[in-house]
Structure 1
């Protein structure tokens, strides 16, 4: 089965790519986790998991 998100940070996520990208961009501009969590209605733990997954993918490249 083909998946366009395979081998990307978005693979196996239940959240839209747009929301994940917004959270990661907000981290880059130093918005604190509680602010990101509030604005996007996502748990801080979830945001940290996205960040860890994105960091791992970046290191693998």
Structure 2
């Protein structure tokens, strides 16, 4: 188990991220989420609008 945790640390991913096949870039997603948590609601709504627009292409 120690070796697995060392691999996760080396890759900058959590054990959960390691097994998440739907997330192609866990460190970037985690960093983005951490920063989103600090934003006020109106900024979050703006970002959500942009994400929805990008996904509809």
Into which bin does the TM-score normalised by the smaller protein fall? 0.3 to 0.5
Q: Which has the higher contact order (CA 8 A, sep 6+)?
A: 1
Q: Give me the TM-score of the superposition, normalised by structure 2.
A: 0.34
- Larger fraction in helix: 2
Structure showing greater radius of gyration is 2
